[in-house]
Amino acid sequence: MSQYHAVPVPPMSIRFDQAAGTLSPEGPTLTRRMSDLEGLFRDHEAWEKAVADGDPVVYSVISSPVPEIDRELPQSITTIQPGTTGGELWMTKGHQHPNHQGEIYLGISGRGGLLMFDGTETRWVEMTPGTIGYMPPGWAHRSVNIGDEPYSFLAVYPGGAGHDYGWVLEHGMGLRALSGADGVELVDYVEG
Ligand SMILES: [Fe+2]
């Protein structure tokens, strides 16, 4: 089983194979199915139906072997499948860093959006291959696939930042991304 590298981590190169969707060497891989996204879609009945109807994989996260500990700089590649549930575009759970620190995403393939929310203000950044999205400390972030193909992006983040998924359940994300005429229509956040 792949896992984080032992500390101290030596200087290394990590190869991303886009066709295979793999990192080499690689760390842990996370697979998020529809059932893992409870309470996040606006249309709860549509979410329940999707879970009962095969519980599809919504996104996966492959990590580099660099550990998530303070002073290290781990990376991961997330791939969100195209799709909608109740008209809402498939997305990541979204999280806040409990230890407020910044992060960058780099679009690799497909079309996506980066939704950021600091509890008051929202920002939406369209992500295409080559776009760098920057999340300042204190801004919760969620990624959305707004295209017809898988959307993949690289994340680079401070290893001590942590992941608080409950923050989004408690505070929302400010906006929701629905399927629209131009790919995406942003609407006010309404509880799921
Ligand atoms: Fe993050």
The band of 1, judged by pLDDT with boundaries at 50, 70 and 90, is low
Query: Is residue 5 one of the residues assigned to a domain?
Result: no
Cα(115) to centroid(ligand 1), Å:
12
Output the pTM of the full model: 0.96
Cα(1) to centroid(ligand 1), Å:
24
User: Within 13 A of 180's CA, how many CA atoms are on the CB side?
Assistant: 8
Cα(192) to centroid(ligand 1), Å:
22
Query: Is residue 139 one of the residues assigned to a domain?
Result: yes
Cα(168) to centroid(ligand 1), Å:
12
Query: Is residue 183 one of the residues assigned to a domain?
Result: yes
pLDDT of residue 48: 98
Cα(162) to centroid(ligand 1), Å:
8
Instruction: Give the residue numbers spanning the domain of 146.
Output: 15-188
Taking only the tens place, the pLDDT of each residue in 102-122 is 999 999 999 999 999 999 999
Query: Is residue 19 one of the residues assigned to a domain?
Result: yes
Q: How many domains does the chain have?
A: 1
Domain of residue 119, CATH code: 2.60.120.10
Query: Is residue 3 one of the residues assigned to a domain?
Result: no
Percent of the chain with pLDDT over 90: 92
Q: What are phi and psi of 118, to 5 degrees?
A: -105, 15
Query: Is residue 144 one of the residues assigned to a domain?
Result: yes
The protein residues having their C-beta less than 5 angstroms from ligand 1 (an ion) are: 103
pLDDT of residue 86: 97
CA–CA separation, 102 and 53 (whole Å): 37
CA proximity to 78, closest of 133, 120, 117, 121: 133
Query: Is residue 108 one of the residues assigned to a domain?
Result: yes
What is the per-residue burial (b if ≥16 Cβ within 10 Å, else e) of 167-187?
bbeebbbbbbbbbeeeebebe
